[in-house]
Amino acid sequence: MKILAIDIGAGTEDVLLFDSQKKNIENCIKLVLPSPTITFSTKVAEATKQGQDLFVKGDTIGGGAFTFALKEHLKNGNRVIMTEKTAYTIRNDLDEVKQFGIEIVQNEEHPKDFQGETLTIEEVNIKQLQTFLSEFGENLSDTDIVAVAVQDHGVYPKGLSNRKFRIQKIKDQLNQNPKIENLSFKEKEIPPCFLRMQSAAQASKRQLPKAKVLLMDTAPAAILGSLQDPSTEKASNILAVNVGNGHTMAATITNGKIAAILEHHTSLLNPKKIEQLLIDFANGDITDIEVYNDNGHGLFYLSKPQGFSKIEKIVATGPNRNILSQTKFPIHFAIPAGDVMMTGPIGLIEAAKHKIQFTTINPT
């Protein structure tokens, strides 16, 4: 069984090619690459330097550095035309995209009055990976599953906060089944509002049409991956925290089931604040509206909080996890399969094991 797991964050793209024929996961191919948003932002910056207008076509990808570069491109007096699909990279509301000065067209045909550079964007880059890995005798054509993690706020109704919409969608999904792998989606299960996930699934099938496809948000994938760390095996009550570049997600897990989820913005947290936030969260002493009014996403409880004193293990991951080392907590930094950078991909593999039911997969 072969699973190509790709975790696409704001800074890096972490790749794990799991192959059940290997003796252990440490022998599997692992790559840590610059995130596509970083790569494409560099190309935009070069066009800005050359004073060239841009026509952007392709897939819906993560914005981040790419969005910032396009805004700088416009500030410098250059023109940006995007297809409707790629424009959702900037915002999930196309009216907001137009307000930046970006022109939106319906199809990928070259605009008649356009004289600049064409940039084709994609973030599921399986063909590029195949070109590189072929030098090492690796063939991706027999991949059974492509599992991809991207952050997707979803297209939210006008007048509703995207922060509230995101946390509510997570809650709705877990209300059906409180296992964190239930936050992953097989190709046909992806809700229509998650355009970036839809685009990633289409790109995966376009490049590996015979493979099954699984999509998941990056934060839950990291949480699930951290739970594969051997240190969590004997713990019944766990507090798992993913301190990402943009979002910090915390989850209390009791006997393998999600009891509560909290999500905030990492930039608004410092060691003292996150320490108190997590204590209050585990104790049930903070509300959804309090987190939201602090410019976070919010929180919810699926069962009555057992209290911080009942937490047996605090496990942390994410690129900004070191903020937790400055707290009084006894933090265990997750290293599933001995590599912190593979936490997301291993979470994807674990989700695939449960959702697609290939029982031969064992990522730990």
Name the pLDDT band for 156 (thresholds 50, 70, 90): confident
Q: What is the pLDDT of residue 363?
A: 41
Tell me if residue 59 falls in helix, strand or coil: coil
Give every CB contact of residue 196 below 8 A, 6+ residues apart in sequence: 60, 61, 62, 88, 89, 150, 151, 152
Q: What is the pLDDT of residue 292?
A: 97
pLDDT in tens, 332-341: 999 999 999 9
Which of 104-108, 316-320, 343-347, 358-362 is predicted least confidently? 358-362
Q: What is the pLDDT of residue 358?
A: 53
Rg for the chain, CA atoms, rounded? 21
- 3-state helix/strand/coil string of 272-338: HHHHHHHHHHHHCCCCHHHHHHCCCCEEEECCCCCCHHHCCEEEEECCCHHHHHHCCCCEEECCHHH
Percent of the chain residues past pLDDT 70, beyond the cut? 98
Name the pLDDT band for 364 (thresholds 50, 70, 90): very low
Q: In the structure encoding, which two tokens stand for residue 226, read together? A: 């951290």
Name the pLDDT band for 21 (thresholds 50, 70, 90): confident
Q: Are 241 and 314 in contact (CB under 8 A)?
A: yes
Q: What is the pLDDT of residue 205?
A: 97
Q: What are phi and psi of 33, to 5 degrees?
A: -120, 160
Q: What value does the mean pLDDT of the chain take?
A: 94
Nearest CA to 348 out of 33, 1, 6 is that of 6
Name the pLDDT band for 359 (thresholds 50, 70, 90): very low
pLDDT at 354 over 50: yes
Which domains does the chain show, CATH number per domain?
2-34+125-221+343-355 (3.30.420), 37-121 (3.40.50), 229-335 (3.30.420.40)
Name the pLDDT band for 257 (thresholds 50, 70, 90): very high
Q: In the structure encoding, which two tokens stand for residue 121, read together? A: 């964007």
pLDDT in tens, 73-124: 999 999 999 999 999 999 999 999 999 999 999 988 888 889 999 999 999 9
Name the pLDDT band for 357 (thresholds 50, 70, 90): low
pTM of the model: 0.94
Strands 247-254 and 237-243: antiparallel
